[in-house]
Structure 1
Amino acid sequence: MNKLAILTDYFGTIILVQFEYFRPQSEIRKLVSSYYNVTVPDDVSDIMRAEIANLRFVIRGQVTTDLNGVEEQFGPGATLLCGPTYRWSNVRFTADTQVFGAAITPMGWAKLFDVGADQLADKLVSLEEYVPASSLPLVRDIFDAPDEAQRVRAADGLFADMVDPVRRIDEDFLDQVTAWITSPDPNELAVMISEMSRSQRQIERLCKKYFGSAPKLLHRKFRALHSANRLTWQDLTDWQDIATTAYSDQSHFIREFKQFNGRTPSEFIKGAHILVRMTLQQRLQIDHESPFSLIG
C-alpha cells in the first residue's frame, strides 16, 4: 500500500487529495493491475485522460462526469463500470468524496465480463448489469467494509468469484499486444502487425474484443499516454524528446497529445492535470505485477 496526502495549487486554490494504492491478491493481479482509494476533502474539478477499463465504487460524496456525452451525477452506492476510454472527459468531486476503484487489465476484462471491450469503450454503465446474480452480494461487501484493508479483501473476493474458468481467451494475442502497447520505446503499428502470424482481419477483431478499439486507435492512444508519462517522470522540454514514436510534426504531436490527455503538453507541464499527474507520480512508488499499472 502507498499512501500520501498531496497539497497542491489548483488554479490558485489549495486542495488536499489523498491517494492510496493497494495490490490485489496474487491470483488476480493479471486481471486487476491495482486498487486505489481517492479521498477529496474539498470540491475538485479536473480532467480524466484516456485509460484502461476501470471499476469505481462511490463510497461517499458525489462524482459528476460527462464520459457518456452528457453530465451525470453519481452518489454513494454507485458502481461505475467504465470500458477502456479513447478520449478525455471532465470529472468533478464534491467535498468529502471517497472513491474506491480497480484498474481492469485487458486480460481481466476478457475473464470477468462477457461483453467485448469495444461495446463499452468510452461508456460508463452500472456494474450490476454485467455481474452474475450470484456475485451481487459480494458487491455490497465492498461498500460495507469498515476499512480499506477489508475493502480490498472484499474486492479480491468479488473478482475471484466473477472469473469464468471455461471462457476461451486468446492469451497469446493478449500478451503480445500488451507487450507492444506498454513498451515505452518507439514501437510502430506496422512492426507489430508484421510480427504476428495472423490476418489483418483477425488482428482488428481481437483488438476490438480485448482492448476496445482497432489497432490504429490503440496505438495512437498509448503513444500519447507514454508521452504524458515522460513529461511527469522526466525533466523534458523538447517535443521530440517527449514524443515516444514518430509524428509528422509538432502540431500533429500536440493534437494527438491533447485528444487523449485532455491538455496540450505545455498545459500538462504547468500542472493543470492534478489528478493524473499525482497518480502517475505515485504509481512509481508501488510494486507492479501488470505493466498497465504504470500507464492506464
Structure 2
Amino acid sequence: MKLDQMRGGTNIDGVSDDAFAMPPGMRMRYDRPAPELSAYLTGYAIYAADDPAPMINWYLPSPAMISVLVEAGPVNVSIGNHRFGPLDRASLYGPTSRALRTETRTGISVGVGLSALGWSRLTMRSAGDFHNRVAPLSTVMGSALAKRLIDGLDALDDDAQIAPLLDGIFAPLFGHRHPRDDLIRAFTALSVTDGVIEMKDVAERLGVATHELRRMATRHFGMPPKLLLRRARFLRSFIRLMTAEGLADYSMIDSSYFDASHFLRDAGTFLGTTPRRFIASDTTFLRASLRARAAVIGTPTQALHGASASSLAAVPGLAQSEILRRHSNG
C-alpha cells in the first residue's frame, strides 16, 4: 500500500471531507467494522504521514488496540516513564490509563480497536498483564495473525480495501463464546454510561460481588473497575472542554466531580499534566482523530465507544425507557 494511494477517507459513508482535514503531508481514515464484528472491534483507524523526519504525537488513554505499520520508519512509544520500541510491524497496545506519546516517521499505521469482549475471544491472556504496555502482537495473539495482517496490508494498493481485508481476517476469530460473555457486555455498557462512577453501585446493578467484578474487569478490560469508571468520566469531561475550546469553562465537566480541582487531579492521573499543557503539546493527529472518529463511528475516542441498546438491556436496574434514551444519545 503506497502513501500516494492513501486518499484520507474521502466520502466514507457520505461523511464530509472536512471531517478528515489534516495539515499537508498527513492523512487519516476511519472505517466501521462489519456489523457482525461490531461487538468485538470498535473501529479501524488509518494514519499516514509523508515526512521522514521524526514527528511527536500524544494520544488519550484507551482500550487495547492492534497496530500494523506499512512502509513506516521506526516507531517508539512512551507511556508514563516506560519506553517501548522500535516497535514490531504488528504490535499490541494494551489498555492504557495514561496518555501515550508516539514518535513516528513516514509511513502508514493501521489500528484495530479491540473491545473487552473482543479481547475475551481472541486470547486467554489477561488484559491486565498489558496495562500501559506495548508488546509484539505475535507474543500475545500468535504469529499467524500477525503475519496475515502484515502480508494482507502490504498487498493492498488502495486504502478503501483495508476495512474489507480486516473484516475477512477477523471474522473467523470470534466464534468461541466466553463464559463471562453476558457480564462483559453488561459492564461494557455501564462503563460508558454517564453518571456511573461507584464500583459498589455497578456491582449491585450487575448482580455480582465486588471482588468478582474486579477480577473480571482486570482480566478482560485491563484494569480495576474503579479506574475504568474514572477514566471514562475524565475523558467525557476533557473531550468536551477540548473540542469546545473552553478549557476554563468547568461547567462542562461531569456533575460527579466535586469541583474543578477534583477534575484537575484526574488530569494529572490520566494525562500526566494539566489539560491546558496537554492540549498545547503535540496533538495534531489527536485533534483530527477525535473529529474523524466521531463523524464516522459516532464517538470521538475508543474509550467512550457507545454501548448498544441490547447490551444496556442486559444491565439490571435500567428501565427500558432509560435504555432507549441512552442508546438514542449514542
Q: TM-score range by the shorter chain?
A: 0.7 to 0.9
Per-residue deviation at 1:66?
2.2
Deviations 1:135-186, CA, capped at 9 Å, x for gaps: 45522212322222333222212212332x3342423222222222222x22
Q: How does 1:1-296 map to 2 (within 5 A)?
A: 1=12, 4-7=20-23, 16-42=25-51, 43-62=54-73, 63-67=75-79, 69-74=82-87, 78-94=89-105, 96-132=106-142, 135=145, 137-139=147-149, 140-163=151-174, 165-183=175-193, 185-189=194-198, 190-234=200-244, 236-238=246-248, 240-268=250-278, 270=280, 272-288=282-298, 293=302, 295=304
Deviations 1:107-148, CA, capped at 9 Å, x for gaps: 111111221211212111111223356545522212322222
Contact 1:34–1:102 (CA under 8 A) maintained in structure 2: yes
Closer, same or farther: CA 263–279 of 1 in aligned 2, 3 Å: farther
Contact 2:43–2:297 (CA under 8 A) maintained in structure 1: no
Closer, same or farther: CA 239–213 of 1 in aligned 2, 3 Å: farther
Deviations 1:92-119, CA, capped at 9 Å, x for gaps: 112x221011111111111112212112
Per-residue deviation at 1:294?
7.2
Per-residue deviation at 1:284?
2.1
- Cα separation, 2, equivalents of 1:274 and 1:291: 15
Contact 1:79–1:127 (CA under 8 A) maintained in structure 2: yes
Per-residue deviation at 1:45?
0.7
Contact 1:231–1:269 (CA under 8 A) maintained in structure 2: no
Name the SS for the 1:73 alignment partner. coil
Per-residue deviation at 1:27?
1.8
Per-residue deviation at 1:71?
4.7
Structure 1 regions of 5+ residues with no counterpart? 8-14
Structure 2 regions of 5+ residues with no counterpart? 1-11, 306-330
Divergent runs of 4+, >4 A: 132-137, 268-272, 290-294
Name the SS for the 1:258 alignment partner. helix
Closer, same or farther: CA 57–173 of 1 in aligned 2, 3 Å: same
- Cα separation, 2, equivalents of 1:199 and 1:22: 38
Per-residue deviation at 1:272?
4.7
Q: TM-score, normalised by structure 1?
A: 0.84
Closer, same or farther: CA 151–181 of 1 in aligned 2, 3 Å: same
Higher strand share: 1
Q: Which amino acid aligns with 1:153?
A: P
Closer, same or farther: CA 276–228 of 1 in aligned 2, 3 Å: farther
Identity of counterpart residues, as a percentage?
22
Indicate the RMSD between aligned Cα atoms, in angstroms.
2.6
Partner of 1:11: none
- Cα separation, 1, equivalents of 2:69 and 2:244: 33
> How many pairs are equivalent?
283
Q: TM-score, normalised by structure 2?
A: 0.76
Partner of 2:4: none
Q: Which amino acid aligns with 2:172?
A: D
Contact 1:107–1:210 (CA under 8 A) maintained in structure 2: yes
Name the SS for the 1:70 alignment partner. strand
Deviations 1:30-87, CA, capped at 9 Å, x for gaps: 1111111101223321222211111111112221112481252236xx1011111111
Per-residue deviation at 1:89?
2.3
Q: Which amino acid aligns with 2:285?
A: L
Contact 1:21–1:35 (CA under 8 A) maintained in structure 2: yes
Larger deviation: 152-161 or 241-250? 241-250
- Cα separation, 1, equivalents of 2:224 and 2:209: 14
